[in-house]
Copies of this chain bind each other. A is one copy, B any other.
Amino acid sequence: MAEDKIRTMDDFARISEISRPTLSKYFHDPDSVRKTTRAKIESALEEYDYRPNIFAINQNRKLTKTIGIVVPYLADPFFSEIVRRIECQCIDAGYWPIVFSAHGQQGLENNALATLQSLRPAGALIAPLGRSSDFEAVKKFTESVPTVVFDSNVKVGKAFVGSNNFQSIPLIVDYLCRTGEPPCFLEMPPINPNANKRRDAYIQAMEGLGHDPKVIRAEGTGWSFEQIGLEEGKRLISARSLPSETILCSNDRMAIGLIAAAYQKGLRVGHGPGCALRIAGHDDHPWSQFTCPPLTTVAQDFNAIATKSVETLFHLIKDGCDNQDRPEVVFDGKLVLRQSA
C-alpha cells in the first residue's frame, strides 16, 4: 500500500486508471457509471482512501449536496431529537446536512442564515426563532434557498410541517375535563406561533365543552422553560392563585418546572387520591417519562415531522418550486397517559 499522498482527484485518477470526469461522475452518483468502472474505482478507493475536497466540489456545482438545518435552540431536546432524525435521513439520501443553532438569539439566527446562504445549499429546513426572528432576514433567505419551515409556522418558505395544535390541545383538554376539574392553561412566553396557537386552541376547546377558559401567562423570557415553570409555579402556589387544580402547560418543559414547584411546595401531583394538583404537558419530550410522577402529555410525532419535512424538501429540490401555494402539513398528536393527570 504505497500511499503516495493522494490529495487530488487527478492523483486518484492516475492510480485508479480512471479519468477524472468519470471519477467526478462517480462521486456525484456511484450508479451513474458502468458496473465494472465502479468496481475498479471502489477497489482503488479501498487501497488509497481518497475523498474529494468538499470546498472544491461545491464551489463549482450548480446544485450542491448541502442541506442546512437551522433550529432556534439545539439544547432543547425537542430540537436535538428532531435534528438527529433529519440528519440521519439526509445522510442516507446522500446529502450533507449541516446544523446551525440560533441559541435563542436573533443575531445568531441571522448569522446562521447568512452563512448558510453563502454555502449555496440545495435546500434548508428551518425552525425559526419566531417572535425574535428578524422576519425580513428570514424571508430574504427563503427567497434564495428552497426552504421547508418546521415546528414554528412563520409564514415564509415553500412549505410548512408541524403538529396540529388544534387537534392535540383539544384532545388533552377533553381528557382532562372528562376525568376531573377542567384545566387552566399555563402559557409559555409567546416566543413563537405555536405558543399562541396552543393558547387559542385551549380557549376554543374549553368553550366548546362549555367551560370557562382560564389562561395564566407566565412571565419570563428566553428558552429556560423549566425555570419559568418552576418560578411561576412556586409563586402561584404560594399565592394560592391557581384558578384550577388541573393545569395544562403549553409544553412539557414548563410542566417539568411546574411539577418541581409542586414538589417543593409539598403538593402531591397526580390523579389518585390525596393528590392536590393534576399537571399535563404537551410534546412528550424525551424525559417527560422520568418526571415524578411521570407526565401525562400529548405526543408530537417526531418521526413523522422529521420524515415529512425531509421528504417535502427533497421533493422541492427535485421538482422546483413551481406551485404557488404553500402547503402546510400538520400531524395529529397522541394522548400519552401517565400519572401526573
Contact = CB atoms under 8 A, between A and B. Distances in A.
Interface of A: 51-59, 74-75, 77, 80-81, 83-84, 87-88, 91, 96, 98-99, 101, 103, 108, 111, 114-115, 117-120, 226, 230, 256-257, 259-260, 263-264, 286-287, 289-294
Nearest to A263: B292
Given A52-B118, A291-B292, A286 B87 contact: no
Contact of A55 (B55, B264, B286, B291): B55
Given A115-B96, A259-B292, A77 B74 contact: no
A210 B110 CA distance: 58
Contacts of A96: 115
A131 B56 CA distance: 35
Contacts of A74: 74, 80, 83-84
B84 A290 contact: no
Contact of A256 (B81, B83, B287): B287
B58 A290 contact: no
7 contacts: A51-B118, A74-B84, A75-B77, A75-B286, A91-B111, A99-B99, A230-B290
A54 B114 CA distance: 11
Contacts of A75: 77, 80-81, 84, 286
As for how many copies of this chain the complex holds, the number is 2
Contact of A114 (B51, B59, B83): B51
A260 B286 CA distance: 14
Contacts of A114: 51
Contacts of A56: 55, 59
B103 A84 contact: yes
Given A51-B118, A59-B56, A257 B290 contact: yes
Contact of A260 (B57, B91, B290): B290
Nearest to A91: B111
B292 A54 contact: no
Contact of A287 (B51, B54, B117, B287): B287
